[in-house]
Structure 1
Amino acid sequence: MGYTTDTTYDGIREREFTVRDIPGVLWTPVPAGEHPPLVLLGHGGGLDRKSPPMTGRARLLVAAGLAAVCIDAPGHGSRPRTAEDSRDILLMRQARAAGSSLAPLVVRYNSRLAERAVPEWQLTIDALADEEFGPIGYAGVALGTAIGVPLAAVESRITAAAFGLCWPDNLLAPARQITVPVQYAMQWDDELISRHAALALFDAFGSAEKSLHANPGRHGDFPAHEVESSVRFLLRHLR
């Protein structure tokens, strides 16, 4: 692991790094305190480690005394796409233009990315061991959930997770393996992910402690207060 930048602003220390060829960003409070909890941030499809939703969520976490880290998913940010990535993206754009269902295409695409991203996240956690963080949590919606659910299912160092806005296909089995506290957010009138599908994924989580946040509105109406709610949820469990 190598740090490539190190800047401080507004009480935040921001360090960009690479683990092998995986670019990432680590945000920590200034001063950091002793063993701050660490939240892994999974970005959505088409975004990257420094997109506004990630930097905004990181600011909220750091303000609460937590550290945050985000890495680019395969084929996102500065990472090259494979031929399969490009094919799937083209098919999704064509389906959207034709008004066809995106579900089977997005599920296939997300599943392939998750297979590559899960070991990359585990490698990143290993590389951050010298930073001596406290408990680890995870937060991510959409693609962030498609990667985060299989990650939390196999990574025992994750002790709480906030998910949302994702198709249940291929996630039901790993969701049943998750027993840490979970918060899940959905849009009640989501035109992409049916209400039944969202509830099926929430029901599948094997956690004794889990909460469902259902908000009115379509897929793109996901409210900003859900991000703040996830920060409070993670703070409660990681502290």
Structure 2
Amino acid sequence: MRFTSRASSDGVLTREFLLDGIPAVLRTPDGATGTRPLVLIGHGGGQHKAAPGVVARAHRLVSECGYAVAAVDAPAHGGRPRSPEHERLIGALRAGGDPTPVLTELHAHLAAQSVPEWRAVLDALRTLDGVGEGPVGYVGMSLGCALGVPFVAAEPRVRAAVLGLNGAGTSVEAARRITAPVEFVLQWDDERVPRDAALALFDAFGSTEKTLHANPGGHGDVPAFETDSAIRFLRRHLG
């Protein structure tokens, strides 16, 4: 782990770092020591670790809850290079037609790389003073959900997850292995994720505690109050 930048604003310390070439960012309360809950945030498709929504959510979790929050550039996103396979799949998406089979293939391809990366980042972060080995949560919408479901399924240290805006096509088998509490966000008129696929993913979660939040509107119309709900949910399970 090599820290590459450091900045402080409004009580939040932001440190970008590289771990084996993986670009990531950690936010903690300024001057934090000891152990605290850690929340990992997965960004949406075509975004990166410093997308406005990721930054805003991270700042609230640090400022209001005192948590540590980390985000990682997904493979082929942010400053990371695209492989020929990434280029082929992204080109197929841009070509039009039914995106579901291409997204299924793309998400599976990205998750095979991102899940071990996230686990390595988690290992490294928990060695730091100001983070430590406290409880872990995960938040991810859209691509962040597609990659987050297999990560949460593989990572027993995650105690609670806020997921949504994705369907069963890419991750239903992994969803069945998740037992941590889940809050799932669905947009009823989502133009990118068929409603039946999103409901099937929610149904597949193996968690005994899972909550479905369905709102009218399209993929990008998630109400702002869902962030408030996510924070309450994480506080309830992470402390």
TM-score, scaled relative to structure 1: 0.95
Contact 2:177–2:205 under 8 Å retained in 1: yes
Aligned-partner residue type, residue 83 of structure 1 = P
Q: Give 1:134 shift.
A: 1.2
Q: Give 1:171 shift.
A: 1.0
Contact 1:38–1:136 under 8 Å retained in 2: yes
Q: Give 1:224 shift.
A: 2.2
Give secondary structure in 1 for the equivalent of 2:220. Answer: helix
Whole-angstrom distance in 1 between the partners of 2:227 and 2:95? 31
Q: Which runs of 5+ in 1 are unaligned?
A: none
Match in the other structure for 2:73:
72
Aligned length: 235
Match in the other structure for 1:91:
92
Contact 1:107–1:167 under 8 Å retained in 2: no
Moved over 6 A (4+): none
Moved more, 163-172 or 75-84: 163-172
What do you get for the CA RMSD once the two structures are aligned? 1.1
Contact 1:60–1:228 under 8 Å retained in 2: no
Whole-angstrom distance in 1 between the partners of 2:45 and 2:224? 18
Give secondary structure in 2 for the equivalent of 1:15. Answer: strand
Match in the other structure for 1:178:
178
Match in the other structure for 2:124:
127
Q: Give 1:33 shift.
A: 5.6
Match in the other structure for 1:22:
22
Aligned-partner residue type, residue 117 of structure 1 = S
Match in the other structure for 1:40:
40
Contact 2:167–2:200 under 8 Å retained in 1: no
Match in the other structure for 2:112:
115
TM-score, scaled relative to structure 2: 0.95
Matches of residues 1-239 of structure 1 in structure 2 within 5 Å?
1-32=1-32, 34-63=34-63, 64-95=65-96, 100-131=97-128, 132-239=132-239
The structure-2 alpha-carbon separation of the partners of 1:133 and 1:15, relative to structure 1 and needing over 3 Å to count, comes to farther
Superimposed CA distance per residue, residues 62-111 of structure 1 (whole angstroms, 9 cap, x where no aligned partner): 1221110001000111100001111111111111xxxx221111121111
Contact 2:167–2:199 under 8 Å retained in 1: no
Q: Give 1:30 shift.
A: 2.4
Contact 2:107–2:170 under 8 Å retained in 1: no
